Chain A
Amino acid sequence: MSGPHEPRDEFIRALESRVGAAARHRGPSADVPRWIPRSRPLLALVLIGGVAVSMAAGGSVVALAYQAQTGEARQMLEMSYKQRAVLARDQHVMAMKLLQAIQQRVAVGAASTMDLLDGQLKVAAADADLRSVELQVEEVRLTGHEPVTQVSAPLVSGRDFVSERWRIELSVPTAEFQAEQTRMKHAEARVSLGMIDSFEIEPIRARLKELEFAMDGYRRKLDFRQKFLNKSIDAGLADLRVMEVEADQRMKILMSKIQVGLRALARLKARVAVGAAQSLEFAAAELELRQMDVEVSKAQYDLALIRQKIDQRGR
């Protein structure tokens, strides 16, 4: 509005909406004789139209109210994720500072290279966490909803947030795997020198296995995500396939733990036999192993159920 004879924008919009509504309402009568508006059918139509317009107006009011509400919720959600990002940034800075302190201690021989590995892992984890939260902030900003983690989630403005998130998450076990490999070499060297017992390598080996399963799980999930996006598989099957991957991964990790547990139990049994350990310790280890066994059975059942559903879809 620039002059006294320029209409207000609100007036233009309001009248435009009235003109539009009236044009829609009156439009069909263009070629109709004048007596028709007085006829009953048209009167009924006009009444129906009036009701429809009234309902549409009511609907638009509700929609506007809902929009205002969702706008507010969206802002709150975005704010909460931004706060998480601030925290993640702080943690990253702290991890970096800790790593620098360890590096200084390693340089003067006050800390081992294993401590350095731990510091590096913390930085890698904090970095992945920060990137993941920043990704969530971006997703919330674009969608106004909580980030979606399902394999069958649609692209958001052409971006594949699900794959991006999984790749970031994959970087954590990958970094840890490399660190554990270094730790393993270090431990093996100490075993060969007779400095530690060979059994002390077992937890590292088990951890390596777990990390391998975790990395494999992410790769398989990424593969199914790609298949879903390429429309090679539908959303339902993609979801089932990812559930299968997760159940399989859970079962493999438990099996690996049971293997380690069994070896530990045999060792403990031998120690109890020579009086080097108490039978209570043995009983506790045995109980833990049985609990894991139950968990494996449960994981196997879940996996079988998921595979059955996949088979049913295939038929």
Chain B
Amino acid sequence: MTDAEVLETYRATIRSLYAYVSRRVGGNRTLAEDLVQETWMRALDTWPRRGVPDEPIGWLITVARNAIVSHFRRVRPEVDAATIDLEAPSFTPDDPDAASIVSWGLARLRRGHAELLEAFYFDEKSVRQIATDRNTSERAIEGRLRRARAALKKKLGRLRPASAPRDGSLKDTIKERTIHVRPTRAS
């Protein structure tokens, strides 16, 4: 592994890797930059011993995903999960608060569910695209999504901000916040 090889890989992958991480943290730049940097530092620990993988971006994304999961297992969002409505067809976690809630929940789901919800919420793939990617029917994906969403909601039910007062005043305040919405994606 030469310096030039590493830098070439870095330049070729940095934007995709950052976009992947940034979407999962709702565009929180500080957090996204920390996680991307952490991912690259892990790559530099591993690659000299094992060589640059055949698909560096795939490797980096896997490591970044683990870093995100690890982060959200450690860090509890300071917002109430009740501020988001996963069932709303227009819901997209594209602000830091909403993204941190969803990512916190995904970090506690089993991998299959988490990957499906990630593809739907963060990669903004339609049901049809996910079905095509996984070589299965849209109907099957809709069913899995429903179950994954239910599992996520269950996990999010446990999420109450550490600093949230018991009278729910913070919850009410947060509810007033505008959650960014996008037009419903066609399935």
Contact = CB atoms under 8 A, between A and B. Distances in A.
Interface of A: 4-8, 11-12, 15-16, 18-20, 22-24, 26-27, 29-30, 34
A6 B18 contact: yes
A6 B19 contact: yes
Interface residues of B, number: 27
5 contacts: A7-B14, A19-B10, A19-B44, A23-B1, A23-B44
A27 B15 contact: no
Contact of A22 (B41, B49, B51): B41
Chain B interface mostly:
helix
A15 B49 contact: no
Contacts of A30: 1, 48-49, 51
Contacts of B2: 27
A54 B53 CA distance: 31
Contacts of A20: 3, 6-7
Contacts of B6: 19-20, 23, 27
Shortest 9 CB-CB distances between A and B: which pairs? A5-B22, A7-B18, A4-B27, A23-B6, A5-B19, A30-B48, A22-B44, A23-B3, A26-B48
Interface of B: 1-3, 6-7, 10-11, 14-15, 18-19, 22-23, 27, 29, 32-33, 36-37, 40-41, 44-45, 48-49, 51, 94
A27 B36 CA distance: 20
Contact of B33 (A5, A11, A24): A11
Contact of A15 (B3, B27, B37): B37
A18 B48 CA distance: 16
Contact of B15 (A4, A7, A19, A29): A7
Contacts of A4: 22, 27, 94
